Homo-oligomer: A and B are copies of this chain.
Amino acid sequence: MSNAHDPIRLGMVGGGQGAFIGGVHRIASRIDDRFRLVAGALSSNAERASASAEELGIAPDRSYASFEEMAKAEAAREDGIEAVSIVTPNHMHAAPAIAFLEAGIHVICDKPLAATPEDARRIEEAVKASKARFFLTHNYTGYPLIRQARQMVANGDLGEIRLINAEYLQDWMAESGVESSGNKQAEWRTDPAKSGAGAIGDIGTHALNLATFVTGKAPTKLACELQSFGEGRRVDDNAHILLHFEGGARGTLWCSQVAIGNENGVRLRVYGTKGGIEWHQENPNQLFYTPIGEPTRRLTRGGAGLGSGGGDWTRIPPGHPEGYLEGFANLYTDVADAIRGRGDAALVPDIASGLEGMWFIDACQRSSQADGAWIDR
């Protein structure tokens, strides 16, 4: 029987040598020492899978050739994994997610939920049918000041929400042909069969999730124009989106992979009847808050004048920056708490966020094909 101090036994699907996001998940899971990575199906390439496992200190008998095998074997072990991180390309989320959910193992899945709406629905059904939980790593919600912002909106500090503006600007795809230059990330992310979408799936869903997480308002309809500026690019690399939200708020969302000079320019601005806030991911330890008729305040992570949002979920004093990995770690730690019965992981995005993201991707594509027509939710 596990007690509260025991680390969660964690498995991983994907994330072998050469992958990117798997390593991020592993660090995030380690930061607060709440997980032990003990099993993996790290690559569909058997050699790479076992080399990766060795490097990560996974025992050879728990390095599996397939996720199916892993789900079955781990479910059968007394010391089997309690949770699994799925960090494969989008089109390979559904099958392992379903397998582990069916095996009663909690699933921590990278975003977006899936490459197709069909896959998404299948995951949804598996979630409903399972006693295990499903978490989606829209990791920006783990930033303390984003949680602070959410609390402020909930507290009414901004009054009624009128305007929501979310951006996620990058430039790594600015050059045509980056996807055929040997960049593996670019390769699968621009293959519609693997990714399901381009910028809107990869980063647009993050921006949307941030907007709805902070404001508590779901989108009710959208109009979108997608562009593919890279020559021969098979997925969108830029999107301009108009949004309506519950309660009458209006908004815009801009995501781009060709905006030269932007690395990971995630930015959120929310304006209500009583105040406004502004936050940039590249300096996430500051949140600018303006109460109507007063000077703008610079709130800092863990700093003066905050609700719990800016002070909880942080490990070091204000002025010492925490970053992307610590924000990501907050999701993992919330999940660990929930598994150990010390919390409910209410702030961690789940299947509902995933389905909202899938609606977003699909609606953007349909709207863009229809010359920017409005698509209801």
Query: Which A residues have a C-beta under 8 Å from some C-beta of B?
Result: 5, 7, 20, 23-24, 26-27, 30-33, 54-57, 162-163, 165, 170-172, 174-175, 223, 225, 227, 229, 238, 240, 242, 250-252, 254, 256, 258-265, 269, 271-278, 281-285, 288-300, 303-305, 315-326, 371-372, 374
Contacts and interface: CB of A to CB of B under 8 A. Distances in A.
Contacts of A303: 263, 295
A127 B344 CA distance: 50
A287 to B, nearest CB: 9
A174 B294 CA distance: 13
Nearest to A263: B319
B271 A5 contact: no
A240 B238 contact: no
Number of copies: 4
A262 B322 contact: no
A215 to B, nearest CB: 15
Contacts of A276: 171, 259-262
A-B pairs, top 3 by smallest CB distance, nearest first, are A263-B319, A264-B319, A261-B290
Contacts of A254: 165, 252
Contacts of A371: 374
Contact of A372 (B5, B175, B285, B374): B374
Contacts of A27: 31-32, 315
A229 B248 CA distance: 10
A263 B300 contact: yes
Nearest to A292: B260
